Each structure stands twice: as C-alpha cells, then as structure tokens.
Amino acid sequence: MGEVFAGRYELADPIGRGGVGAVWRAWDHRRRRYVAAKVLQQRDAHSLLRFVREQALRIDHPHVLAPASWAADDDKVLFTMDLVAGGSLVHLVGDYGPLPPVFVCTLLDQLLSGLAAVHAEDVVHRDVKPANVLLEATGTGRPRLRLSDFGIAMRLGEPRLTETNLVVGTPGYLAPEQMLGAEPDFPADLFAAGLVALYLLEGAKPDAKALVQYFLEHGTPGPPQGVPEPLWQVVATLLQPDPADRFRTATGARKALAAAAELLPEPGPDDELVEIFDQLGPLPPGFGPEGPLRRASGVASDLVAGGTDESGAAADPVDSRAVGRVDSGPAGPVPGSAVEERPTPTYTGSLSDTGSFRLPPPQQAPVHPLPLPAPVPAPAPAPDPRIDTATAAYTTRDPQVPPPSPAPRTPARARGRRARRAAPRPGPPAGAAIPLLLLALACYAVGFWALTRV
C-alpha cells in the first residue's frame, strides 16, 4: 500500500511534477475521495517560504486551482487540491495540434476569468503557461479550464524572495518589462495569456522574442494563417510589448473577446470535435474507486473506524506526528509530490521549467580547456544520466563541456610492428664489452703509428 502522510493522506501514484515537488494522486481518508497532493521535496528555507505562500491562497473560483488543505509531518509538508484528470493544454495540443478558433475563444475566456479572480485578490500569478493550465476530462462537452501552480505567485506589495537582479518565471512566457527588471504586475500575466492563446491557435510554442521585436520595428503584424481577424485583434492587444498598450484588466480583455467571438463563424458539421481525454490512467494495484483495498499502517484509528463530522466527512484524525493542518475554502486540484524516503518514480508529466535567472546580458560560462589526448586514448566515458541537458539552458549550472573525441584507433598488428621498430636494440653482453674496447684502442694505436711513419 502507499505511504500514509500525517495519518490522513495515502499516496497512490505519481501523476506529474511541479517546480518544488512531484504530483501524486492520494486518497484523503477524511473526505473519502482522491485528491492531488504536492509534498515539499527540498528542505531549504527558501523553498519552504514559497510553499507557505502557495498553500495560503484561498481563491474560490471555478477556473482557479487554489489549495484546499495542508499538513505537516515531521520534516515534510504537503498541500492538496481537487484532482484534475484531463491533463494540461500541452496534452491537448499534443493530441490535436492547432485548435479551432471558436474552441480557443472558450479556453481563453475561461483563462481570463480565472486571472480576473486572481488579480482581484491582488495576486500576480507570474507563471501563466500551457503546462500550468489544466483541464477537466469533459470528453466532447464544453471544456473546463483550471489555472494552477501558484508556486511563484505573489501579492502586490509583498517582499520578493529573490534578488532584485533575478527574473523568476518560465523563459518564453515572460513579458518584456519582466526581462527589464520591472516589479511583477497584472499586465505581465495578460501578456502570458496572449502567448498561451497563440500557442493554442498555432499548435506550437511561439517565439516571444522575435514577436516582440517585430512589434517594436513594424507595429502589429497581420493575423497568422487560419486565425480570424477579430480574434487576432484581441490576442495582438494582449501581446503588445508596452504594458500601457495592453488591456488594463483581464475583465476588459474578456469583454473584447466576447465581442470578437460573436463575429466568428459557427463550427460546421464536418469540423473535428475536440475531446478532452482522461490523462491519469487507471489506479495502481491496491487502490479502487472507493479508496485503498486494504488498510495501510499509519492511518489514524478514528478514520478507520468510520467516524464522521457534522458535514458527513470522516472525522479529522489526531496524529502525534502531524505538527500542523489547515482545512479551509473549497478544494481545488493541485500537483502532488513524492516523499523523500520513497525511490524517485518515473513521472508521466513533463518537468516544469520555471526558475530564476539573472537579467541579460547573461554571464558567460567558463570555458574549461580540453585535456591533451594521451598517446593511446581510453574510450570516452559514458554520459552521466543525471544531467538534464534538455533544461540546461534554463538553469544556473554551467553547461557541460563535451568530452574530447577519441583519436582513431590503430590496428593491433600495425601497433606491434611500430613498437618493434621504435624499441632500442640491445648492446653486447657485459663480459665481452671490455675486451672489445681494448681491441678497438689497439687498432686505433696501430693506425696512428702507421700514419706517423708515412
């Protein structure tokens, strides 16, 4: 059975990974349902501060995934949200490629609605990107979008947790003013929402740097192929490099989007239906739709006995190991995380590339001189599988210097002949060396005497 956390949450299987922890499907023994649980993996104080900020959010909105409860157990902490089974926008685009404009209008409207609720709490998300926008598994019905992962979100006026010359976020979804070191603000989230809309319309990650450069040099470009002009005008306004030229609020962007949606043609009978599949897969062995099939050690005894509170949920456990727990607000889905004692699983979700990095110009990585090749070089060592080369450009560690390419190997037969030619020939035996030397001196003396007689 899975490991029980704080006498209440039983971890079932990993379903993804966030910026500070892995995402786990877990059974809540109190509420008798599956939730998503994020467990803090890093024990440093900096990560714990971000964790505390994220779990403190209590935003009640149908398109926001705010934490619902948290617990602490010895040196580990977690918080939970409702479980979302439809994957992220990355999964959706991976299944269908560019999405129909009418479908994109629905998703963008829900994203802006969630951002409006977040901004109403004076919170800047700072990491709006396709991987952080999750979907309910609604099949071919109306999609339901949920904005998640508030790991680097902050309220206006709160102290920053990074140095002033560091930028926090995901490269490729940062507003131009963020790259210049401006304080986080709502227009930066709207710029990222415009990039998400462009990603859905084109089916690929947009080149934000080239797009901003074109805006600055040539003005607003024309709509991409297949994107209706009314919808493009809304997206282009979100993508303006100058924050003053964007929509002032997410609510204002929604109003413009609603007007543009009325001008779009209705989907035809031959248009492909977009279906949002269940991306979580079946439950692992030992777990069923109604929870674990057997009692696991560590579950609070009052929960196993089936006691319920006034709301009909199982009674809150009393566990001597749990040092803190808060339950307030509605439950919302959240990524979960692995417990440090467990072996690292193979995650099905993509890794988050959110992080902090210094403002441009970037510091050049030191160039390490390559060692001179040996006369007979050994085979190159195998690459370290722990090095994540796919995210090396987004991290602060130095890029790995490639190992020197091995020199061409010489056939063994040729090496043997060459070694025999290069080896010094042995001299005469030690017993014959002195007589030969005396004979040579005698010959030299006779020759010299003969020359003097001539």
Q: What's 33's domain CATH number?
A: 3.30.200.20
**Cβ atoms of 391 and 353 closer than 8 Å:** yes
Listed range (69-83, 155-169, 390-404, 424-438) with the worst mean pLDDT:
390-404
Task: Read off the pLDDT of each residue in 293-305 and give the average, rounded to a whole number.
Answer: 76
Cα separation, 88 vs 130, in Å, equals 7
Does residue 245 share a domain with residue 100?
Answer: yes
**Cβ atoms of 353 and 54 closer than 8 Å:** no
State the pairing for strand pair 322-327/145-147: unpaired
Say if residue 361 is preceded by a cis peptide, omega within 30 of 0: yes
Does residue 156 share a domain with residue 67?
Answer: no
Determine, yes or no, domain membership for 428. no
Does residue 249 share a domain with residue 151?
Answer: yes
pLDDT band at 307 (very low <50, low <70, confident <90, very high): very low
Q: Specify the 3-state DSSP secondary structure of 244.
A: helix
Q: Specify the 3-state DSSP secondary structure of 53.
A: helix
164: tokens are: 């002033």
Residue after which a domain boundary falls, among 209, 244, 261: 261
Does residue 79 share a domain with residue 94?
Answer: no
378: tokens are: 């050994």
Cα separation, 31 vs 254, in Å, equals 36
Determine, yes or no, domain membership for 410. no
Cα separation, 246 vs 171, in Å, equals 20
Listed range (42-51, 61-70, 111-120, 412-421) with the worst mean pLDDT:
412-421
pLDDT on residue 266:
84
Determine, yes or no, domain membership for 368. no
Determine, yes or no, domain membership for 70. yes
Transcribe 90-122 into DSSP letters: HHHHHHHSSPPHHHHHHHHHHHHHHHHHHHHTT
Does residue 176 share a domain with residue 38?
Answer: no
Determine, yes or no, domain membership for 370. no
Q: Sign of the CA dihedral 153, 158, 163, 79?
A: negative
Does residue 161 share a domain with residue 117?
Answer: yes
Does residue 249 share a domain with residue 149?
Answer: yes
Q: E strands, 136-215, where? A: 145-147, 154-155, 166-169
Does residue 173 share a domain with residue 24?
Answer: no
User: How does pLDDT run across 198-251, given as a tens digit for each residue?
Assistant: 999 999 999 999 999 999 999 999 999 999 999 999 999 999 999 999 999 999
Does residue 71 share a domain with residue 163?
Answer: no
User: How does pLDDT run across 2-18, given as a tens digit for each residue?
Assistant: 788 888 999 999 988 76
Listed range (159-173, 289-303, 335-349, 370-384) with the worst mean pLDDT:
335-349
Task: Read off the pLDDT of each residue in 373-399 and give the average, rounded to a whole number.
Answer: 41
Catalytic-labelled residue, pool 28, 127, 189, 353: 127
Listed range (94-108, 191-205, 363-377) with the worst mean pLDDT:
363-377
pLDDT on residue 246:
96
Q: Of the spans 237-251, 290-304, 372-386, which averages the highest pLDDT?
A: 237-251
Instruction: Give the count of domains, the chain.
Output: 2
Phi, psi of 188 (to 5 degrees): -65, -40
Cα separation, 273 vs 95, in Å, equals 12
pLDDT band at 413 (very low <50, low <70, confident <90, very high): very low
Q: Which residue's structure tokens are 């024309």? A: 222
Does residue 147 share a domain with residue 240?
Answer: yes
Determine, yes or no, domain membership for 280. no
Helix, strand, coil percentages (3-state) for the chain, rounded to 5, are 30, 15, 55
Q: Which domain holds residue 47?
A: 4-83+288-327
- Paired residues of 123 in beta bridges: 155
Cα separation, 113 vs 251, in Å, equals 7
Q: Is 109 known to be catalytic?
A: no
User: How does pLDDT run across 64-96, given as a tens digit for each residue?
Assistant: 987 888 887 777 788 888 999 999 999 999 999
Listed range (55-59, 145-149, 282-286, 311-315) with the worst mean pLDDT:
311-315
pLDDT for 42 beyond 70: no
**Cβ atoms of 70 and 326 closer than 8 Å:** yes
pLDDT on residue 138:
95
Higher pLDDT, 336 or 149: 149
**Cβ atoms of 110 and 146 closer than 8 Å:** no
**Cβ atoms of 287 and 27 closer than 8 Å:** yes
Higher pLDDT, 310 or 221: 221
**Cβ atoms of 240 and 248 closer than 8 Å:** no
Transcribe 337-374 into DSSP letters: ---TTSPPP--SSPPP--EEEEPSSPPPPPPPPPPPPP
| Rg (alpha carbons) of the chain, rounded to whole number | 34
Cα separation, 179 vs 171, in Å, equals 10
pLDDT on residue 254:
97
What is the CATH number for 177? 1.10.510.10
Determine, yes or no, domain membership for 398. no
Does residue 108 share a domain with residue 242?
Answer: yes
pLDDT on residue 56:
60
Does residue 78 share a domain with residue 118?
Answer: no
pTM for this one?
0.67
Determine, yes or no, domain membership for 183. yes
176: tokens are: 């131009």
pLDDT on residue 35:
95
Q: Which residue's structure tokens are 């508030």? A: 150
